């Protein structure tokens, strides 16, 4: 009986189980917004279980549930919904919350706020806007997308990026926006040498922002004004870029996504020299410069190319002439010992550049349960540049974790580890930079492919620029074989960085939270430079003496510790007044330990690159710099009926970079916003807001040993010391102080179909910290002072909208435009000019009182009362010395982005515009001197070659007027002889025969910065599969410079990020990059 009962019981259990499983079936549907547009990424969860999924790109979902269970639908910015799973087909229309209407943004200290409550300007970018286009530095992808943000991405391989918000505020200090990750400021150091940063020689090692993985970015919010970032203190006096990283979601199953991108690039021919093909090497002694000598010893004179000259103003090419070129003296060359026809090279330096190729592969794992979340990602980036022997390899691992330790206590932790290895960055500036040779000092008869063959034959420095080949001296006169430079004299660098932190968040009550946070930013850099035995002598090493060989090593260990304690309290004062109080303290401890050493007098043993392999010893430069900054701060925010907001903040900092009796300083901000749409209550007006704020922030000097004694090594065993060349009155040194105000209006109409954000602002930075020249009798070259004032005022406009939005088609457009007017109001003690950098040909960059920061000074052209250029009787311009001939500041910048989506296909493009600003091109100044480009070999107005003699109809006429004896201006008709190089006689093309201003160009441009096509697989192809989403993209970056006024170069190209801009010498051409991307979500 018992067995029978047990059998019946088992049967009953089986039947119930079958019934239960029979009731659980697949529920499908589409989740859309209130306009019918599908919403991807909506969390769908079976209530009371861990079973969940997310909607795909089409808003579709599939989940197993029984009719008695309830489905929970949730999405950020939307009202969550609970629906019974009574049907196998459930479509959901989600409604935006009030917060969603105006938006939620991350503000200072990582605090999330309603955008409508802010009394200052901020602009948010989605992950898609930041990480779609592959780049070595995510900052490059901000170009043209944020009003008031000027991003200058130079063309250097793995190079640094300049990010300036609302103009230059410090004359010689840092002007870069602060980068903040999940509420914590991080280091964005530029380790380039002072020479490289000022436009001279060196390398661009990039800035630390390149360590941030764009694939791990969830969103970016740009805080523009001082009021927006006042809680961060002096570190954010230039604005802040707030990065929110990807995090896992609670009650979500394991999510796996993979992205793979392959890119190929070619250099933009409009940004490199267009070589003339009519005239060859020679020209220092006239245009008939082939050397007549008996080369082969047969007693008959031959023609020899002057290989020691590095210009192309020699004899006109003539294939009937037989000449001995450089290759006639290269053992093993097919033309060794032979004369060859006098013709232009078949392969000019444009063929030196290779196709770039890069891959980016990223894997992401995320998920969570009821009490914890996690997000893990690993990204591998391998990049081969357009220069031979150039590569950048980077691996980034990111982790983000959270755990609810109780109902009130939550722990979070994150880390980012970066390992980067780079070989073969391009050289910068004037000097030991073969790209400068290509642009300025070259013979058009030299075939670059032959140079490649000569190097790889025996890996020797067989150069086209031989000193005296007929006399047996094959050493370089000025220039190495460029392949020798790439494969022997290459640099290499390694950077490893760990950024990690933890925080504990405790909810004392529902409205009162305490947050404790600790973050460590640690990086180690190693940079090595090599100069092989047999190279041409150039400045090298610690002593910057002329060296034919050598090795240089620079290392730096950096550690920044940041500790925060923040308390926030939300409460109500009655039924209509809301309040939020915030208070906290921050301690930042920073240390940098660096070593810079090099060989001196050359290498003892060739190709052994160690400091011990030195002929002489010069002491290395070592430094240990530590600083601390502590701050306390408070903020109070009030709102009346969610209509009128008022906010104030105060911070007091103490810095060890200032004297102990003068090291504390405070600043504050106050702001208000009025939501007038709450009063008008018009259906067409989704949001209407007025805002205004005022702020005062400080900026302390950079940490360092001010006024220290300098060790100059040993002499006969005795140490040699000297005082620093800069006098610092440390006791009276004060922080810079910036005072700013801002007003703006925000509006959103037609159910957010069109939005406007307009800002006007003005800031004045006083107590500028800079060095001024001193009389040698004082014993110092410079004195550091607190003086001067810089002013910025401007306007910003950001427009976005969806002109067309239907179920299948959507057109989204974004426009931003900004204009900043910068003025140097004053310097010190009546000084009217401060030189910031000195370049070739006595051209300099300056801060000039009454002018915008970054005035370019040099030789200008005299003008008559009507503004016409004045020409002398010889046809050349009348020169005026020490004139302002340009300025680096743009008149305005802007961008237009478009995205058109039809069902599963989308098309996007971005046009980036800069109007105004100037750049001094040494490449043109010397390149025209030496006759390498087409600008010096064209058909003139008479229909003759411009290099013909004047008697044969050559030459050109400078536009302008001649002042006659009566003072009248008469149109100039005098021709200038261009038959010889101005290097020879000071007349003709180039800087030797013309004022500097002839080579200052308008830096305006219009660029098609980004273009892309994306196809997302429809969900019907992915139903019931393990792949949830899949998309394919074709992407173009820097595809087309639509307009520019600078010949043969990109106006953005330069040497480094930093304050010194507006100079080009040996700049790299821009690379057009075309990419294919695949994204898969499992």
From CA 722, how far away is CA 300, in angstroms rounded? 63
From CA 240, how far away is CA 186, in angstroms rounded? 11
CA neighbours closer than 13 Å in the CB half-sphere of residue 538:
24
Strand partners, 1034: 1013, 1076
pLDDT tens column, 737-767: 899 999 999 999 988 899 999 999 999 999 9
Closest CA to 857 of 874, 891, 880: 880
Q: 247 near 375, Cβ under 8 Å? A: yes
Helices (H), 172-272: 194-197, 226-229
Phi, psi for 325 (deg, rounded to 5): -95, 180
Whose tokens are 């308008």? That residue is 1002
Whose tokens are 């079936």? That residue is 25
From CA 814, how far away is CA 445, in angstroms rounded? 50
pLDDT tens column, 90-137: 888 887 543 343 466 777 677 777 778 888 888 888 888 888 787 878
State which fold the 138-151+173-266+357-424+490-853+888-917+1005-1081 domain adopts: Maltoporin; Chain A (2.40.170)
Helices (H), 222-335: 226-229
Whose tokens are 């080579």? That residue is 999
For 600, the token pair is 């001196």
Closest CA to 103 of 133, 82, 123, 73: 123
What is the SS3 assignment for 345?
coil
From CA 74, how far away is CA 39, in angstroms rounded? 11
For 1008, the token pair is 């098609």
Output the furthest CA–CA distance in the chain (Å, rounded).
137
Residues 6 or more apart whose Cβ sits within 8 Å of residue 749: 684, 685, 686, 755
From CA 541, how far away is CA 548, in angstroms rounded? 11
State which fold the 23-96 domain adopts: Immunoglobulin-like (2.60.40)
What is the SS3 assignment for 32?
strand
Q: Provide the percentage of residues in the chain whose pLDDT is more than 90.
A: 64
From CA 539, how far away is CA 533, in angstroms rounded? 14
Closest CA to 557 of 519, 592, 597: 592
pTM confidence score: 0.89
From CA 125, how far away is CA 788, in angstroms rounded? 36
Residues 6 or more apart whose Cβ sits within 8 Å of residue 86: 67
pLDDT tens column, 1033-1049: 999 999 999 999 999 99
Q: 40 near 1029, Cβ under 8 Å? A: yes
CB atoms within 10 A of CB 586: 24
Whose tokens are 């034919």? That residue is 548
Q: What is the rounded (10 degree) CA torsion for 1018, 379, 1009, 852?
A: 140
Q: How many residues in total does the chain contain?
A: 1082
From CA 636, how far away is CA 786, in angstroms rounded? 33
Closest CA to 735 of 180, 173, 189, 228: 173
Whose tokens are 């490199």? That residue is 272
CB atoms within 10 A of CB 23: 12
Secondary-structure breakdown of the chain: helix, strand, coil percentages, each rounded to the nearest 5: 15, 50, 35
Q: What was the pLDDT predicted at 35?
A: 56
Instruction: Please give the sequence-ordered ranges of beta strands (E in DSSP) within 932-1020, or none if there are none.
Output: 956-957, 961-963, 969-971, 975-976, 1000-1002, 1005-1016
Pairing relationship of beta strands 60-65 and 789-805 according to DSSP bridges = unpaired
pLDDT tens column, 643-662: 999 999 999 999 888 888 88
Helices (H), 819-935: 922-930
For 254, the token pair is 């394991």
Give 10-residue mean pLDDT values along the chain (1082 residues). 43 40 71 71 81 75 87 75 86 63 64 78 86 82 91 90 92 89 85 81 88 89 80 80 88 88 96 97 90 94 96 96 97 95 97 97 93 94 96 96 94 96 95 95 98 96 96 96 97 96 94 95 96 96 93 97 94 90 94 95 96 93 91 93 92 88 87 91 90 88 64 57 71 85 93 92 91 78 86 96 91 96 92 93 96 97 96 95 97 96 94 97 96 97 96 96 93 95 90 96 97 90 80 95 97 91 96 95 89
The Cα-based distances of 243 to 39, 796, 814, 846, 972 in angstroms read 24, 22, 21, 34, 59
From CA 435, how far away is CA 929, in angstroms rounded? 17
CA neighbours closer than 13 Å in the CB half-sphere of residue 769:
24
Q: 858 near 841, Cβ under 8 Å? A: yes
pLDDT tens column, 769-798: 888 887 777 777 788 888 899 999 999 999
Enter the DSSP assignment of 1018. P
From CA 248, how far away is CA 376, in angstroms rounded? 9
For 468, the token pair is 């005296």
Closest CA to 685 of 676, 694, 693: 676
Pairing relationship of beta strands 782-786 and 550-573 according to DSSP bridges = unpaired
Phi, psi for 1057 (deg, rounded to 5): -75, 165
Q: What was the pLDDT predicted at 102?
A: 44
Whose tokens are 């993979």? That residue is 258
For 630, the token pair is 């502590």
Residues 6 or more apart whose Cβ sits within 8 Å of residue 65: 24, 25, 27, 46, 51, 71, 85
Pairing relationship of beta strands 356-368 and 252-267 according to DSSP bridges = antiparallel
Residue boundaries of the structural domains of the chain: 23-96, 138-151+173-266+357-424+490-853+888-917+1005-1081, 279-343+430-469
Whose tokens are 């087409």? That residue is 934
Q: What was the pLDDT predicted at 103?
A: 63
Residues 6 or more apart whose Cβ sits within 8 Å of residue 341: 319, 320, 321, 322, 323
């Amino acid at each position: 009986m018992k067995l029978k009962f047990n059998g019946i019981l088992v049967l009953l259990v089986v039947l119930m189980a079958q019934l239960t499983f029979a009731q659980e079936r697949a529920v499908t549907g589409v989740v859309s917004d209130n306009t019918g547009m599908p919403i991807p990424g909506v969390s769908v969860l079976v209530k009371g279980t861990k079973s969940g999924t997310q909607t795909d790109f089409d808003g579709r979902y599939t989940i197993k549930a029984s009719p008695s269970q309830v489905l929970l639908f949730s999405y950020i910015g939307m009202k969550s919904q609970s629906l019974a799973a009574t049907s196998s087909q459930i479509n959901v229309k989600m409604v935006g919350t009030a917060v969603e209407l105006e938006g939620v943004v991350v503000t200072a200290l990582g605090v999330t706020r309603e955008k409508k409550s802010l009394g200052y300007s901020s602009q948010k970018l989605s992950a898609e806007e930041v990480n779609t286009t592959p780049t070595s530095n995510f900052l490059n992808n901000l170009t043209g997308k944020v009003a008031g943000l000027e991003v200058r991405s130079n063309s250097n391989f793995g190079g640094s990026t300049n990010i300036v918000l609302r103009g230059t505020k410090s004359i010689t200090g840092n002007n870069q926006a602060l980068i903040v990750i999940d509420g914590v400021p991080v280091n964005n150091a530029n380790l380039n040498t002072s020479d490289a940063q000022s436009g001279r020689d060196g390398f661009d090692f990039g800035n630390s922002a390149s360590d941030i993985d764009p694939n791990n970015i969830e969103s970016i919010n740009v805080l523009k004004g001082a009021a927006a970032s006042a809680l961060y203190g002096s570190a954010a006096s230039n604005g802040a870029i707030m990065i929110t990283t990807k995090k896992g979601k609670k009650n979500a199953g394991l999510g796996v996504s993979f992205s793979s991108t392959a890119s190929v690039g070619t250099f933009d021919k409009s940004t490199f020299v267009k070589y003339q093909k009519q005239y060859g090497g020679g020209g220092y002694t006239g245009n008939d410069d082939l050397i007549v000598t008996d080369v082969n010893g047969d007693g008959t004179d031959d023609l020899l190319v002057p290989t020691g000259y590095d210009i192309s103003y020699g004899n006109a090419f003539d294939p009937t002439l037989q000449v001995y070129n450089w290759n006639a003296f290269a053992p093993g060359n097919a033309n060794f010992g032979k004369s060859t026809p006098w013709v232009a090279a078949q392969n000019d330096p444009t063929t030196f550049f290779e196709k770039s190729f890069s891959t980016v592969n990223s894997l992401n794992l995320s998920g969570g349960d009821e009490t914890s979340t996690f997000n893990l990602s690993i990204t591998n980036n391998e990049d081969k540049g357009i220069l031979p022997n150039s590569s950048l390899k980077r691996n980034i691992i990111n982790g983000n974790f959270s755990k609810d330790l109780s109902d009130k206590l939550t722990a979070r932790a994150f880390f980012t580890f970066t390992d980067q290895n780079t070989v073969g960055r391009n050289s910068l500036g004037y000097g030991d930079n073969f790209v400068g040779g290509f642009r300025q000092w070259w013979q058009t008869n030299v075939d670059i492919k032959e140079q490649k063959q000569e190097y790889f034959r025996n890996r020797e420095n067989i150069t086209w620029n031989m000193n005296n080949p007929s006399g047996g001296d094959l050493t370089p006169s000025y220039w190495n074989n460029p392949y020798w430079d790439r494969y022997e004299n290459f640099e290499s660098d390694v950077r490893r960085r760990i950024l990690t932190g933890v925080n504990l968040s405790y909810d004392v009550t529902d409205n009162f939270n305490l947050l404790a946070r600790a973050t460590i930013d640690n990086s180690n850099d190693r940079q090595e430079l090599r100069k092989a035995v047999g190279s041409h002598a150039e400045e090298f090493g610690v002593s910057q003496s002329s060296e034919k060989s050598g090795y240089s090593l620079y290392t730096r260990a950096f550690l920044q510790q940041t500790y925060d304690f923040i308390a926030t309290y939300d409460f109500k004062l009655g039924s209509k007044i809301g309040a939020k109080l915030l208070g906290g303290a921050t301690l930042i401890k920073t240390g940098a330990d660096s070593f810079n050493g090099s060989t001196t007098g050359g290498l003892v043993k060739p190709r052994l690159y160690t400091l011990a392999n030195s002929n002489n010893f010069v002491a290395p430069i070592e430094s240990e710099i530590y600083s601390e900054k502590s701050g306390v701060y408070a903020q109070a925010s009030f709102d009346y009926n969610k209509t009128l907001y008022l906010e104030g903040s105060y911070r007091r900092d103490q810095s060890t970079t200032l004297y102990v009796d003068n090291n504390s300083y405070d600043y504050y901000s106050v702001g208000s916003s009025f939501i007038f749409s709450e009063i008008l209550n018009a259906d067409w007006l989704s949001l209407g807001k007025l805002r205004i704020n005022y702020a005062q922030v400080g900026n302390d000097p950079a940490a360092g040993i001010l006024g220290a004694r300098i060790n100059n090594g040993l002499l006969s065993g005795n140490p040699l010391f000297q005082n620093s060349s800069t006098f610092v009155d440390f006791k009276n040194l004060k922080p810079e102080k910036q005072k700013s105000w801002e007003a703006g209006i925000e509006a959103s109409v037609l159910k957010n179909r069109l939005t406007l954000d307009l800002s006007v602002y003005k800031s004045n930075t006083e107590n500028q910290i800079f060095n001024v020249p001193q009389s040698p009798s004082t014993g110092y070259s410079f004195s550091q002072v607190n003086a001067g004032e810089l002013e910025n005022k401007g306007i910003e406009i950001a427009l976005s909208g969806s002109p067309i939005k239907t179920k299948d088609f959507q057109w989204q457009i974004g426009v931003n435009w900004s204009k900043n007017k910068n003025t140097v109001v004053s310097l010190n003690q009546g000084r009217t000019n401060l030189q910031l950098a000195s370049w070739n040909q006595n051209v300099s960059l300056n801060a000039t009182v009454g002018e915008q920061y970054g005035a370019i000074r040099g030789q200008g052209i005299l003008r008559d009362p009507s503004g016409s250029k004045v020409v002398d009787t010889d046809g050349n311009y009348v020169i005026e010395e020490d004139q302002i001939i340009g300025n680096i500041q743009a008149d305005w910048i802007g961008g237009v982005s478009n995205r058109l989506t039809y069902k599963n296909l989308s098309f996007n493009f971005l046009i980036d515009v800069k109007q105004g600003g100037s750049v001094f091109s040494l490449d043109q100044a010397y390149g025209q001197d030496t006759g390498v480009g087409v600008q010096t070999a064209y058909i003139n107005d008479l229909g003759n070659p411009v290099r013909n003699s004047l008697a044969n109809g050559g030459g050109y006429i400078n536009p302008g007027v001649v002042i006659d004896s009566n003072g009248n201006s008469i149109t100039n008709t005098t021709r200038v002889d261009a038959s010889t190089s101005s290097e020879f006689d000071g007349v003709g093309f180039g800087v030797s025969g013309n004022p500097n201003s002839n080579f200052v160009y308008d830096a305006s441009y219009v660029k098609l910065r980004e273009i892309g096509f994306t196809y997302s697989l429809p969900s019907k192809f992915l139903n019931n599969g393990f792949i949830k989403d899949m998309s394919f993209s074709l992407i173009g970056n820097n595809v087309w410079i639509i307009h520019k006024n600078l010949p043969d170069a990109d106006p953005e190209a330069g040497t480094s990020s930093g304050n010194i801009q507006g100079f080009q010498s040996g700049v790299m051409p821009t690379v057009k990059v075309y990419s294919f991307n695949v994204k898969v979500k499992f």
